[in-house]
Structure 1
Amino acid sequence: MKTSLQTTAFAFATSAVLAAPALADEWRLNNFLPETRPESAQIEKFAEDVNTALAEKDFSIEVYHGGSLGLPNTDLLRVVPTGAVEMSLMWANYLGRDAPALGSVFVQGAISTVDELTDVLPVAQEIYEEEYSEWDVTTVGFVAIPTLSVSVFCRDEPVNTLEDLRNVKLRVWAREQVETFERLGVAAQIIPQEETYVALRTGVVDCALYPALYAKTISLQEVTGYASFLYPMASAPYALGVSDALWESTDPEIRDAITQAADDLWDRTNQYDADIENEMAARESLAEEGIVWSEDFPESDRALFVEAVSETWKMLAEEAGGNALDYRERMLTALGR
């Protein structure tokens, strides 16, 4: 099945990416995140470190931000194994269509503290390496995501209770969120981050689930006027993937330089001490541009949300079957649950 998917994707990849093939000594790194995201700056630093280390070999990595290579992030398990792009950032929560088991590793909202995140990260990284290898993708490194405070940003009026949230159309970014909010009676739909601004502007949705820390990267302050904190979230790390065939055929000196730069990238990003301070600074900055911060969702609503997340996590693992059940169990064991 995977071979069939990858073969089908190759024709797409040929037109989307191979129309302007990279030189043998230049790798393109597909980064689907906006260039303004903090992680994008770290990825640029990773590429710079590789390029500096391999200057005498005339090898370089060029980063392409914001999906500028035309590769949908949901298709990356089909495209990366073909070698159509030399390296790509990959996020498991976007890849559940092709690899449902990936959705049972980190269900957003189930892990909320730095201590819990620290406990599960080694297990999650091991699982991702195993799962990506099943798709002929070598994981050469990871990029950590800050622990985030997820808020509901609304266009016309403040929404800070589940009761009020049931009366609006809500934008989310992953299937597990759709399932969780459905359990709570909320109409949620997946809209990619690059389409969220227009969706709010045109009324496709009334509100958007989004972290304040990243809100300005898609100009939410221009299309929403109110925000309320709903839940804390620790996220799955991004992975840097390369096709097995390309990685195995690459000069060992180049592989070593990439691995070292990736290790340094992980060390830089796997830091969480300033997350709360950065969140409050982001809220203050958004307030200066007109966002009105309403009261947080009440603790009783958040308790209902966490309960719904737990039910969604179990459902997704059972639905996916196979490795998904094992992945969830390994994560729960690491959490001591």
Structure 2
Amino acid sequence: MKYLIGSLAMGVALSVSPAVADEWRVNNFLPETRPESAELERFVSEANEALGGEHELKLYSGGSLGLPNTDTLRFLPKGAVEMSLMWANYLGRDAPALSSVVVQGTIGSIDEFEKAIPVVKEIYEEEFADWGVSSVGYVAIPMLMVSVFCGEEPVNTLEDLKSKKLRVWARDQVETFTRLGVSAQIIPQEELYVAMKTGVVDCALYPALYAHTVSLQEVSKYASFLYPMASGPYVIGVASDRWEAADDTFKNAVMKAADDLWNRTNQYDDDLDREMKAREELVAQGLTWGEDFPEADRALFVDAVTEVWAELAEEAGGNAQGYRERVLEALGR
């Protein structure tokens, strides 16, 4: 079984105090200030209202349970927590095939993304089930506009970026920027503020829409847009054996609340307006918003990330190439 875990993950599991029998802890690694966290609060509230007090879901946001998001496939099947938010892009260490489902930057339009979503959800369900995790709900991620935030001077060309140390959040981004001659390293978002403030990195890749949630405007002076990004949705996971043992009343309440959560978040019409408003608010707080990276640079980025997508799938082996081909077929490529 894939979810055999090491001593570290066992230590994490043992460090979390057991919950009362009727309480289901919901682990959310996102900051409380993220809009997705507010949606999860509503999901929990609606499920609890339907359950009428017989069971209770309790949301723990901002990583307050001390469970690393990269370890979800280790701690969730072992019962360290009853329910957890998961994001495939954080789980590539343990499940390399997940890194080949949606490589960020390869899907650059809402029309394409909507074609891919049903297939992406099917793949997630299959892969997580192999780890002993049931996918019981989803939270859609907006079509994001990814920008480069810098602390000391404006950067809006790949050539200028080559002289900077860049923060990214996923391996595919490291591989892509390395291919473009840029030094990139993964820094978790909870460490991003300090890394920028102390000069561990000069610039950070981040969506303007969420920059305020990590106070990025306090340690950055300049920002410029680089590329649009679609991501696979967040998944709400439960250990499969625990989910199978739950009664139908509980399952129905959770699934109804989860369906409503997905229908609320799987909307993209106002994404651009939200992006522009977020930029305006950052500028009002002292950030200088510069010119976009040129189209030629964006084309170079797309070419590089497309090559990385193919290479990561080949490297991962197993189901990875099949997953990538299924997504490409859905996209009509």
- Conserved? CA contact 1:141–1:266, under 8 Å: yes
1:305 aligns to what? 301
1:96 aligns to what? 92
1:1-337 equivalences under 5 Å are 2-5=2-5, 9-15=9-15, 17=16, 20-57=17-54, 59-337=55-333
For residues 305 and 6 of structure 2, what CA distance do their matches in structure 1 show?
32
For residues 31 and 3 of structure 2, what CA distance do their matches in structure 1 show?
31
Identical residues among aligned pairs (%): 67
- Paired letter, 1:38: P
For residues 70 and 156 of structure 1, what CA distance do their matches in structure 2 show?
33
Partner of 2:131, secondary structure, is coil
Cα distance, 1:6 vs structure 2: 6.3
Structure 1 runs (4+) deviating above 4 angstroms are: none
- Conserved? CA contact 1:137–1:241, under 8 Å: yes
For residues 10 and 316 of structure 2, what CA distance do their matches in structure 1 show?
26
Q: CA RMSD in A?
A: 1.0
- Paired letter, 1:28: R
- Paired letter, 1:9: A
Q: Give a deviation string over 1:278-313, Cα, whole Å, max 9, x none.
A: 000000000000110111000000000000010000
- Paired letter, 1:51: N
Partner of 1:70, secondary structure, is coil
TM-score (norm 2): 0.98
- Matched residue pairs, number? 333
- Conserved? CA contact 2:12–2:67, under 8 Å: no
- Conserved? CA contact 2:168–2:184, under 8 Å: yes
Partner of 2:19, secondary structure, is coil
For residues 65 and 207 of structure 1, what CA distance do their matches in structure 2 show?
27
- Paired letter, 2:5: L
User: Which consecutive residues of structure 1, in runs of 5 or more, have no partner in the other structure?
Assistant: none
Cα distance, 1:8 vs structure 2: 5.9
- Paired letter, 1:71: L
TM-score (norm 1): 0.97
For residues 74 and 53 of structure 2, what CA distance do their matches in structure 1 show?
34
Cα distance, 1:245 vs structure 2: 1.1
User: Which consecutive residues of structure 2, in runs of 5 or more, have no partner in the other structure?
Assistant: none
Cα distance, 1:11 vs structure 2: 3.2
